[in-house]
Structure 1
Amino acid sequence: MSSSVDRCCDTTRDWVCEAVRIIEADANRSADTHLLRFPLPPGWGVDLYLKDESTHPTGSLKHRLARSLFLYAICNGWITEGTPVIEASSGSTAVSEAYFARLLGLPFIAVMPRSTSAEKVVLIEREGGRCHFVDSPGAIYDESRRLAAELGGHFMDQFTHAERATDWRGNNNIAESIFEQMALETSPEPEWVVVGAGTGGTSATIGRFVRYRRLRTRLAVVDPEHSVFYDAWRDGDPGLVGTRGSRIEGIGRPRVEPSFVGQVIDRMIKVPDAASIAAVRFAHDVLGRRVGGSTGTNLWGAFQLVADMVAAGRRGSVVTLLCDGGERYAHTYYDDEWVAAQGLRLDEHLEVLREFHRSGRWTAPVDA
């Protein structure tokens, strides 16, 4: 006698189809983000571009990740109608996931350290999310799993799924967008693309894409203080664990996350926190707009690579990311009292940046 079990019903499939339509409609009505030129002297023969991810509806690069994570979870059958969604995040990922959860009528809970800034809590709650606090930052993963089990929900787990939720071969991912927008530029195939690593998903996507498209572009990943990605990559030690979190929100981790694919990275650059914040201030002076801390980290690495090209007499282009706007950091990176309280001195790093912009020379230690 044969037997069968049917786990699908029309109502569930109808909800899935409608949820995918809603997410894709959101993407369809959102214009692609701009590719901005950072002003450099024309005589250098090197063009620097910033992919401005701050123009997404939720204001950051994490909007792309959240969209991909929701589609991945829905299409895997992990999220259906009414499923509570839980994420371990105190930052932009939680803001973006709360946005998509609200679009789909799903409850969303962000598990975060109790020390999370009030500004971030307001942004998450404004998008309809709820914040669940823990005393120890390291407890966010276990508490997220516990909540998901208790509520019959789904732990999104960005740090595991970021590298696999995005189709790295194309399908309007950030890599495909960059290279399509570069197509009519003087040097359409960049010598370098520079990104930071939080989950590692963006670097994995770009590194895989350039290989798949048979491009010569190299990938550089910048890493802030107190993050272990740089040391783990340099020493080939994926089990390395740090003792504290990063001051540069959105990037840097005290452990090597499952989504970090070091094999697709051509170079890593360690960036002091004072240098990241100095670059934030410098970018504001040059561009006339505020950018977030991770953009400062990206720019410090990109400037170093541009200086290498100028010194070698190589013409070409470099692309990096403007990850989010600086409005979220008015009380930290743009606050002199906060900077001083952190024991950070910006003057010497600002002088490195000014000298670079004047002459193309890099006077800071290499990869520092």
Structure 2
Amino acid sequence: MPKTSTDARAWIDEAVRRVEADANRSADTHLHAFELPVEGVHLYLKDESVHPTGSLKHRLARSLFLYALCNGWIGPGSTVVEASSGSTAVSEAYFARLLGLPFVAVMPRTTSEEKVALIEWYGGRCHFVDEAGEVYAEAARVARECGGHYMDQFTFAERATDWRGNNNIAESIYEQMSAEPHPVPSWVVVSAGTGGTSATIGRYVRYRRLPTRVMVADPDGSAFYDGWEQDSSDVVTGCRPRIEGIGRPRVEPSFVGGVVDDMLRVPDAASIAAMRWASGKLGRPVGGSTGTNLWAALTVVERMRAAGEQGSVVTLLCDGGERYAHTYYDDGWLAEHDLDPTPYSAVLDDLDRTGVFSPQGA
């Protein structure tokens, strides 16, 4: 491998400074108390939609760029290539523009048009494939052909973030919870796209010797749940999960099942119902993965309530619903994709009325 030239090293120094300066300009994300008619169990939403690029993936993109820069994988003029279902590509396009680098996002053709527009607005180029499982090889091929660097979030997400602290999402949650009635959450509930967030939180609670347990919510068509249950990294579903940003047709290398205490399969229609229900309560639209997280978090809250336990549960508001105006918020699109949230919406209405969450009634 050639040595790094003095000019290239100077460029890397400046690039790292720019990425760190961007982080310093960004305030921490909010932690919202989510009101429920349940005594003794408090639910919180960590609002990742307020990042500069509008989603949880802003944290990942920053970490991936720093990791690649400090490893000498990208330098002056490098084309950055990523395989993504949309939100990571939006955030990486932002950081590529910050550093003056070309960016190519390899994505399924079904990615929401709002995400495509954002990637292009940041100066990125979108390269489409027909099937979700094709993104990996195609991204690697595009990077080879242009002499660029394939960022490969699905491999490097779990190792690019400092899971011991350094203001990662886990440390932020615990600092913000410190003055709450139950400052140490009984559960943190997240979903997995790469698995990087669940790995960071799961490792952090073990490192800090905290009693918090971690649940991962998985949508229909994803391999993570089956892989975790079977303790196998070889599970492949052959399906494309319909909740953008989470779930994968294979178990990704960054998914660390050993730090996950429980998993829950969430039906896609339940994710849509919870997404719309939460949007009504918050007064602004949220995305589908937030609905997945919330449905699983409500399941945990109900288990605690039924057992007479008190405590807190934290989950993530991953991104805003503006990115899904033509999909999850479009009744015609839902009908076309055979998604009927009505029975699940009725369960949420019953929760509002009775304080009991009964998903088996959907």
TM-score by length of 2: 0.97
Give the structure 2 partner of residue 295 of structure 1.
290
1:109 Cα offset (Å)? 0.4
1:6 Cα offset (Å)? 7.7
Give the structure 2 partner of residue 32 of structure 1.
28
1:152-301 mapped onto 2 (5 Å cutoff): 152-301=147-296
Tell me which amino acid in the other structure corresponds to 1:161.
F
Aligned 8 A contact 1:221 1:268 in 2: yes
TM-score by length of 1: 0.95
CA distance in 2 between counterparts of 1:135 and 1:220 reads 32
Tell me which amino acid in the other structure corresponds to 1:19.
A
1:13 Cα offset (Å)? 1.3
Deviations 1:89-115 (A, max 9, x none): 131000000000000000000112333
1:9 Cα offset (Å)? 2.5
1:336 aligns with 2:331: yes
Give the structure 2 partner of residue 304 of structure 1.
299
1:138 aligns with 2:133: yes
DSSP-derived class of the 2:197 partner:
helix
DSSP-derived class of the 1:161 partner:
helix
1:159 Cα offset (Å)? 0.3
1:341 Cα offset (Å)? 1.4
Give the structure 2 partner of residue 12 of structure 1.
8
Give the structure 2 partner of residue 318 of structure 1.
313
Give the structure 2 partner of residue 112 of structure 1.
107
Give the structure 2 partner of residue 23 of structure 1.
19
CA distance in 1 between counterparts of 2:129 and 2:2 reads 40
Tell me which amino acid in the other structure corresponds to 1:216.
P
**Which stretch has the larger CA shift, 332-341 or 315-324?**
332-341
CA distance in 1 between counterparts of 2:307 and 2:237 reads 36
Aligned 8 A contact 2:85 2:244 in 1: no
**Number of equivalences:** 362
**Which stretch has the larger CA shift, 255-264 or 346-355?**
346-355
Partner residue of 1:47 out of 35, 38, 42: 42
RMSD: 1.5
Tell me which amino acid in the other structure corresponds to 1:201.
G
Aligned 8 A contact 1:46 1:306 in 2: yes
CA distance in 1 between counterparts of 2:351 and 2:300 reads 11
Tell me which amino acid in the other structure corresponds to 2:167.
N
Aligned 8 A contact 2:112 2:324 in 1: no
Deviations 1:129-173 (A, max 9, x none): 011123343222112111211211100000000000000000111
Give the structure 1 partner of residue 118 of structure 2.
123
Tell me which amino acid in the other structure corresponds to 1:264.
V
Aligned 8 A contact 1:90 1:110 in 2: no
Give the structure 2 partner of residue 98 of structure 1.
93
CA distance in 1 between counterparts of 2:92 and 2:112 reads 18
CA distance in 1 between counterparts of 2:29 and 2:161 reads 17
Runs of 4+ in 1 over 6 A off after TM superposition: none
1:358 aligns with 2:353: yes
DSSP-derived class of the 1:69 partner:
helix
Partner residue of 2:54 out of 59, 76, 99: 59
Kindly, what percent of the aligned residue pairs are identical? 68
CA distance in 2 between counterparts of 1:157 and 1:16 reads 20
Deviations 1:315-348 (A, max 9, x none): 1100000000001111111111111111122121
CA distance in 1 between counterparts of 2:125 and 2:342 reads 40
Query: Structure 1 residues 136 and 247, CA, compared in 2 at 3 Å: closer, same or farther?
Result: closer
DSSP-derived class of the 1:35 partner:
strand
1:288 Cα offset (Å)? 1.4
Aligned 8 A contact 1:69 1:165 in 2: yes
Deviations 1:227-265 (A, max 9, x none): 111111112222110111111001000000000000100
DSSP-derived class of the 1:358 partner:
helix
Give the structure 2 partner of residue 77 of structure 1.
72
Tell me which amino acid in the other structure corresponds to 1:144.
A
**Bigger Rg, structure 1 or 2:** 1
1:365 Cα offset (Å)? 3.0
Aligned 8 A contact 1:86 1:110 in 2: yes
